[in-house]
Amino acid sequence: MAREILLIGSIPLKSADDVFSAVGCELDGLIHRIPDGESGDRTDWVQWQSSVFGRIPFVERIDDSSGPSGQRQKGPQYRVRSGFPTAAVQFGPLGYAAAAKVSYQAFTAAKAKGTIAADCRLQVGVATALSVVAQHVDDAFQIAVEPAYENRLLEEIAEIASAIPHHELAIQWNLATELSVIEGRRPVHFRRVWDGILDRIVRSAEAVPDGVELGLHFCFRDFEFNDFPLPADLDRIVDLANGLSGLVGRPIDWMHFPVPKYTRDGRYFAPLDRLTLRDETQLFLGVIHTNDDIAITHHQIALAAQRVAAFGVASECGLGDLSPHDVAAILTKHRLIASPG
């Protein structure tokens, strides 16, 4: 039996038109949510959001900032200029809504041409406020800046949902910094860490209107970006997923768990024994890797299947690091893994 496919977000093609054409041709019948590829500035995780801080008149860039324990930050850092009230920080457009509206035009055109199936949804990936602020704002100012950024971000979610019919829209929250925080790799500005993480994700999830599909992508991007060692198993991710399943007051349509390419035995998947997802929540496992043999992916699928009965397949994270010339091959790999034989 074929497994459903989830594409995480970034696909390094020139435009949404190219993404919809490539995905529709290769994965028709195996995928029901299609991202626009996050082309241009959006390809590189949250780095494109740096510009929204630079547009605030009394926020300044710190080129020589360093992170926890003196670690050099890999992105620009910002702080509120001396003498200006942090409570006055307000954000204008972030770019998520504008990009989604443009992509929806290409999406409807692709449907009209029959390039993608009529029941497919446009999948819009959004980084959480914590991920963006933790990456771009000096530690001392995050407690003041994060609420302002989150308010604007949730306004953009409302704008997206107003512009795109709910039955054609799916919103995926990308949870990267949250995982490094609960694994103890990254400090935060709030004391009750688990409660703080859960509260933030619940607010984000519940901002997605009814009728719009909601997905949660648990992501190791923050570990890789900051050279943190990856978790040895799914223990903390399962804890977080179980907590959210009990707290979020609307349907959670899917969750995606990453699977590192080095995973070769069942210990990584053992925490799935205590996973308690809701009936409506699809599980996707990121077992597809760009430089691994298909046999290794099938081995990972077999290990996971010992723990959980049903799941779809996906890559570990987005495909933005690939060359455009590699896209056709990785989409074919998705198809071959989802429908073996």
Closest by CA to 237, choosing from 264, 217, 221, is 217
User: Looking at beta carbons, which pairs linking 57-63 to residues 24 or more positions away fall under 8 Å?
Assistant: 58/84, 58/88, 58/89, 59/89, 62/138
Q: HEC string of 39-92?
A: CHHHHCCCHHHHHHHHCCCCEEEECCCECHHHCECCCCEEEECCCCCHHHCCCC
More confident of the two residues 93 and 59:
93
**Total structural domains in the chain?**
1
What's the rounded mean pLDDT across residues 326-341?
90
- Report pLDDT digits (tens) over 119-160: 999 999 999 999 999 999 988 889 989 999 999 999 999 999
Cα 36 → chain centroid: 13
Using an 8 Å Cβ cutoff, are 6 and 32 in contact?
no
The domain in which residue 68 lies consists of 5-338
Task: Please state which of the ranges 270-274, 296-300, 318-322 shows the lowest mean pLDDT.
Answer: 318-322
What's the rounded mean pLDDT across residues 297-318?
93
More confident of the two residues 292 and 34:
34
Residue 152 DSSP SS3: helix
Q: What pLDDT does 43 receive?
A: 78
Which token pair is 159? 């704008």
On the question of pLDDT at 2 being above 50, the answer is yes
User: Residues of the chain with pLDDT > 70: what percent?
Assistant: 95
| Sole residue written with tokens 């179980």 | 242
Mean pLDDT across the chain: 91
Residue 2, Cβ neighbours under 10 Å: how many? 14
What's the CA gap between 314 and 47, in Å, rounded?
A: 24
DSSP 217: E
| Sole residue written with tokens 């349509």 | 253
- β-pair partners for 254: 215, 282
What's the rounded mean pLDDT across residues 323-328?
92
What's the rounded mean pLDDT across residues 240-268?
94
User: Residues of the chain with pLDDT > 90: what percent?
Assistant: 70
- Ramachandran area for residue 252 (φ above 0: left; ψ -120 to 50: alpha; else beta): beta
What's the CA gap between 140 and 208, in Å, rounded?
A: 30
Which token pair is 247? 């707290």
Q: What pLDDT does 44 receive?
A: 77
- Report pLDDT digits (tens) over 190-215: 989 999 999 999 999 999 999 999 99
Which token pair is 17? 């038109």
Q: What is the CATH number of the domain that holds 271?
A: 3.20.20.210
Q: How many helices (H) and strands (E) does the chain have?
A: 11, 10
What's the rounded mean pLDDT across residues 47-75?
70
- Report pLDDT digits (tens) over 250-262: 999 999 999 988 8
Closest by CA to 23, choosing from 39, 11, 41, 14, is 11
